Amino acid sequence: MSKVNSLNVHKSFDDLEVLKGINLTVEDATVVCLIGASGSGKSTLLRCVNHLETPTAGAILVDGQMMGYNVKNDQLVEASEKEINKRRESVGMVFQAFNLFCHMTALENVMHAPMRLKGLSKAKAREKATALLEKVGLGDRLRNYPSQLSGGQQQRVAIARALAMDPKVMLFDEPTSALDPELVGEVLQVMRDLADSGMTMVVVTH
Ligand SMILES: Nc1ncnc2c1ncn2[C@@H]1O[C@H](COP(=O)(O)OP(=O)(O)OP(=O)(O)O)[C@@H](O)[C@H]1O
């Protein structure tokens, strides 16, 4: 089964039609990079995938589940907030600006969602977060706040934070460098390792 399907997705902001019927299939364990002109709607499509934006028409399926809607009597009915949040858990997102909690350490940033949304105990969440931060090469930065970390380090915390929810798909709204095979920065290496591990990924480069 393909992991992400965008079925004739349209998205308008008032009079501006940004997405005009996007059909995209991302197969399991593949990496798809979206490139295109500035303002062409790459981020908008990515945000539709985890339902941060609601498509004006069309639908997104992640792992066979429709984001944001249920089918009832052959009609699309909006899902409840609880259902939407549950489905969103299968989609990890790394934002352009990372969106880390600035008052939390790297460790606390990664522990937060599994404790709050998955009911993990503090001890289990700490164990998992530590392992993930070690995996992205930040084992020595657990107690640092985002302001004490470089941009690339913050980005890796954001990746670890997304992975902490055991997503089926990872969305990266980010690096200009991702398409350049000559660049082997730590962030890119983490992304390559993830791809090698079979993670399905959609990467937007700006
Ligand atoms: N919330 C919003 N309200 C109104 N217009 C929006 C909103 N979000 C995006 N847009 C508009 O939609 C268009 C597509 O924006 P989007 O951010 O998806 O483009 P992009 O392809 O990711 O661009 P870039 O590579 O420059 O970041 C732009 O014209 C933008 O101004």
Tokens of residue 94, six digits? 């790394």
Residue 11 pLDDT > 60: yes
Give me the mean pLDDT over the 12-36 stretch: 94
6/177: higher pLDDT: 6
State how far Cα 26 lies from the chain centre.
14
Give me the mean pLDDT over the 178-189 stretch: 67
Q: Calculate how far, in angstroms, residue 43's C-alpha sits from the geometric centre of ligand 1.
A: 7
pLDDT of res. 73: 87
10 and 58 in contact (C-beta within 8 Å)?
yes
Report whether residue 38 contacts ligand 1, using a CB cutoff of 6 Å. yes
The proportion of the chain whose per-residue pLDDT surpasses 90, expressed as a percent, equals 72
Report whether residue 18 contacts ligand 1, using a CB cutoff of 6 Å. yes
Report whether residue 13 contacts ligand 1, using a CB cutoff of 6 Å. yes
Q: Calculate how far, in angstroms, residue 41's C-alpha sits from the geometric centre of ligand 1.
A: 6
Residue 102 pLDDT > 80: yes
Q: Calculate how far, in angstroms, residue 163's C-alpha sits from the geometric centre of ligand 1.
A: 26
Convert the pLDDT of each residue in 48-60 to its tens digit: 999 999 999 999 9
Q: Are strands 69-72 and 65-66 parallel, antiparallel or unpaired?
A: unpaired
Three-point CA angle 188, 196, 33, nearest 5°: 55
User: Strands (DSSP E) along 14-150, which ranges?
Assistant: 16-26, 31-34, 57-62, 65-66, 69-72, 75-78, 91-94
62 and 49 in contact (C-beta within 8 Å)?
yes
Report whether residue 103 contacts ligand 1, using a CB cutoff of 6 Å. no
Tokens of residue 129, six digits? 């977060």
Q: How does the average pLDDT of the chain come out, rounded?
A: 91
Q: Calculate how far, in angstroms, residue 19's C-alpha sits from the geometric centre of ligand 1.
A: 10
Domains of the chain, each with CATH number or no CATH: 2-204 (3.40.50.300)
Please give the C-alpha separations between residue 87 and each of 40, 97, 100, 189, in angstroms, as whole numbers: 27, 23, 21, 28
Report whether residue 146 contacts ligand 1, using a CB cutoff of 6 Å. no
Question: pTM higher than 0.80 for the full model?
Answer: yes
pLDDT of res. 91: 95
Q: Whose CA is nearest to atom 2 of ligand 1?
A: 13
Q: Calculate how far, in angstroms, residue 81's C-alpha sits from the geometric centre of ligand 1.
A: 25
Three-point CA angle 1, 66, 46, nearest 5°: 90
**Helix, strand, coil proportions of the chain in percent (round to 5)?**
35, 30, 35
Report whether residue 44 contacts ligand 1, using a CB cutoff of 6 Å. yes
Phi, psi of 193 (to 5 degrees): -60, -40
